[in-house]
Amino acid sequence: MATLEINDLHVSVETENGPNEILRGVDLTVKQGETHAIMGPNGSGKSTLAYSLAGHPKYAITGGSVTLDGEDVLEMTPDERARAGVFLAMQYPVEVPGVSVSNFLRTSATALRGEAPKLRLWVKEVKEAMERLQIDPSFAERNVNEGFSGGEKKRHEILQLELLKPKIAILDETDSGLDVDALRVVSEGVNRVRESGEVGTMLITHYTRILRYIKPDHVHVFAKGRIAESGGPELADKLEEEGYEEYVKGGAAS
């Protein structure tokens, strides 16, 4: 069983006034088959955690450790982290001009599997996954995220998740900007992956509405750069009623 272990993680970014510490000692363990909801207000450090785990160069690790199955994640390049099984669905997916969705997906699958998937089986696999996510087949020949709506970008992220089958999936505000119908379709996609029991999921969100569709095993409240409280699904219900005020007194991270 794959296990991601984060111990006393500290992360800073450079500003014109010098280093600004955003994560101030994060401890979290995510196992294959588990779903962890990471909740908190703007500025609490949630997205910083996501991008730090993926290896974004903007974020400097100043302390702590991250391991996946005992291997040092922080020593890996971003592509090595992806091949090891770490997947990031971004809050704002980027456009990749000149690269079609079909080429992007098959190239990604080849990099992860070590060999190109057999074309006939791959085409069938992609087509079925796109149908489940209600993605128009013509999207396969469009450039990655170019001209896509917000909902289309998020469906494409979940399409990648379904096809690439990582060990640990980090979903950074996947519900952001989605209408009710798109939220339902995207959530159903995440649930299909979860039901395999082969993926550990970190679901980062401000709001509880996505948790009506994706039921977490664990809920963690982020505030001021660290986990302020952990609990079960009932903690999300508490946040729905009371908000984050008690956690952010004294100011958030950044």
Q: How many CA atoms lie within 13 A of 26 on its CB side?
A: 36
Supply the range of the domain harboring residue 24.
3-248
Cα 173 to Cα 197: distance, rounded to the nearest angstrom: 22
Cα 200 to Cα 189: distance, rounded to the nearest angstrom: 14
Q: What is the pLDDT of residue 95?
A: 87
Number of domains in the chain: 1
Neighbours of 226 (CB within 10 A): 20
Is 45 contained in some domain?
yes
Task: Assess whether pLDDT exceeds 90 at residue 42.
Answer: no
Is 253 contained in some domain?
no
Kindly report whether the global pTM for this prediction surpasses the value 0.75.
Answer: yes
Task: Assess whether pLDDT exceeds 90 at residue 66.
Answer: yes
Task: Tell me phi and psi for residue 175, to 5 degrees.
Answer: -85, -5
Cα 145 to Cα 128: distance, rounded to the nearest angstrom: 20
Is 194 contained in some domain?
yes
Helices 150-164, 180-195: axis angle to 10 degrees equals 10
- Strand ranges (E), 34-130: 35-39, 60-68, 71-72, 86-89, 96-100
Task: Assess whether pLDDT exceeds 80 at residue 147.
Answer: yes
Is 254 contained in some domain?
no
pLDDT digits (tens, 9 = 90+) for 86-139: 999 988 888 899 999 999 999 999 999 889 999 999 999 999 999 999 999 999
Is 234 contained in some domain?
yes
Q: What is the DSSP letter of 117?
A: P
pLDDT range class, residue 77, cuts 50, 70, 90: very high
**Average of pLDDT values for 3-26?**
94
Is 9 contained in some domain?
yes
CATH number for position 142: 3.40.50.300
Question: Which residues make beta-bridge pairs with 30?
Answer: 4
Q: What angle do CA 115, 55, 186 make, to 5 degrees?
A: 70
Is 99 contained in some domain?
yes
pLDDT digits (tens, 9 = 90+) for 170-228: 999 998 888 899 999 999 999 999 998 889 999 999 888 999 999 999 999 999 999 99
